[in-house]
Amino acid sequence: MFDAERFLDDHGVSYSRGGKHGKTGWIQIACPMCTGNPGWHGGFNVEEGYYHCRRCAWHPIDKIVAILLNVELYEARRIVKPYFINQEGDTRAIIPRKQVIELPAGLNLMRWPHKEYLKGRGFDPEEIFSRWGVMGTGHIGDYKYRLFIPITYKGECVSYTTRDITGRSQLKYLSCLGVDEVVPHQNLLYGFDQAQARKVTKVAVVEGPTDVWRLGVGSLGTFGIDWTKAQLRLLVENFEQFIVMYDREVKAQEKAEDLVNALVMLGREAYNVKIQVPDPARFTDEEAIEIMRGL
């Protein structure tokens, strides 16, 4: 996250960790966004890295830095970038567990039922296999009659989720057990490796794998609406601009707004896009292409 203390030291900005307005876990500064009695009313949260003022509420970090250093906003964004903790040095987000993932029983290449399921949802099975490595499971084991969806990080399969193809299971998605994961999938983003390989800076954030398949490379899935702090770190530390496109149901939209607010508080440009279809996977290919071109 944002290393506020190092930034303030490097640029000669006065700050306080105590006093009348001090609070554990915060670095206080004189807020440059409000006027009135002097004091340490503004502050950076050490753990989460965002900025908040006791008088005038939160502000994006890039705007605070622009005013503190008297520079343009684009220059402020360039200045603050090195102060966001690099993923390699932040073990809170990626905590390895097992060394090798154990794949489910009955795993094989997609067969007729898997391909028909994908075709029925408007996907090309060959493309889904070649681009995303999706396979199929058979009639045995805990993950029977499902699409096997590998989750990769830095080119290695570290977890997986599966999608029911029968329509009879109460659990549409069934993921790898936590004790069997090399990296917890809720600490990751589906499509992260592909976006990194393409070196994109603007991304669409969606809920699940099928949404990512529809939109293509440059979209990232949070494995449901309950995004985590580890996922937020991955987003902030690796990308610059975001459109969040969760499903249109009320709870999903509440979570989408929370994610957008969190990204903005950390100095990123982010928008919540309320879609007209139930979920992004329902877009036509033409609509998906147009959306990604818009990024």
For 263-285, write each residue's pLDDT tens digit: 998 889 999 999 999 999 999 99
Half-sphere exposure of 59 toward its Cβ, with a 13 Å CA cutoff? Answer: 19
Stretches where the chain sits below pLDDT 70 are 18-23, 35-38, 85-98
H or E stretch at 55: none
d(CA 82, CA 3): 9
Model pTM score: 0.71
Q: Are 252 and 237 spatial neighbours (Cβ–Cβ below 8 Å)?
A: no
Q: Are 215 and 289 spatial neighbours (Cβ–Cβ below 8 Å)?
A: no
- Fold type of domain 192-294: Dna Topoisomerase Vi A Subunit; Chain: A, domain 2 (3.40.1360)
Per-residue confidence (pLDDT) for residue 203, from 0 to 100: 97
Per-residue confidence (pLDDT) for residue 120, from 0 to 100: 96
Contacts of 52 (CB under 8 A, 6+ apart): 42, 43, 45, 58, 59, 265
H or E stretch at 201: none
Strand-pair partners of 45:
26
* CA nearest neighbour of 165 among 207, 214, 210: 210
- Fold type of domain 4-84: DNA Primase; Chain A (3.90.580)
What type of residue is 138?
Answer: G
Per-residue confidence (pLDDT) for residue 253, from 0 to 100: 95
Per-residue confidence (pLDDT) for residue 36, from 0 to 100: 63
- Fold type of domain 107-187: DNA primase DNAg catalytic core, N-terminal domain (3.90.980)
Beta strands, E only, 165-279: 173-175, 202-206, 219-221, 241-244, 269-272
d(CA 283, CA 295): 16
Question: Could you tell me the two tokens for 23?
Answer: 């609070």
Per-residue confidence (pLDDT) for residue 19, from 0 to 100: 57
Per-residue confidence (pLDDT) for residue 66, from 0 to 100: 87
> How do the domains of the chain map onto residue ranges?
4-84, 107-187, 192-294
d(CA 150, CA 161): 7
